[in-house]
Amino acid sequence: MVHKNAEMEHTVRENIRGGVGKIETDIVYKADEMMGKATLFNRLHLTPGSSIGEHPHDDDAEIYYVVEGQVVVTDDGKEIAMEAGDAMFTGGGQRHSLMNRSDKEAIVLAIVIA
């Protein structure tokens, strides 16, 4: 199944999981399109200063892959700077957050695995 970029659903969400600012989201695939293997596959556009608040992944796991720009994540309480090409995996009850502290937009793929 091919999803053309121009045809992807686009949303804007604010203060995700207690974070700050607006994050534009392109829904790459919806949960019902991924055969029960994942529940979310989105491309996140983080403007400077925007963030997703810290949250756990108890019964699922999440992958962040930085496509463009720079972000700071927390990985079970430890802050780590990430840039294009870097990836993060969180699961098994671990907690994480995502923030753009730079002065340029960052683009991150987010995939939640069931």
44-65: b or e for each residue (b if 16 or more CB lie within 10 Å)? bbbeeebbbebbebeeebbbbb
Provide the whole-model pTM.
0.93
- Counted residue by residue, the chain has a size of 114
Q: How confident is the model at residue 114 (pLDDT cuts 50, 70, 90)?
A: confident
CATH superfamily entry for domain 8-113: Jelly Rolls (2.60.120.10)
Question: How is the chain split into domains, by residue range?
Answer: 8-113
pLDDT tens digits for 50-105? 999 999 999 999 999 999 999 999 998 899 999 999 999 999 999 999 999 999 99
- List, in sequence order, every residue forming a beta bridge with 14; answer none if it has no partner: 22
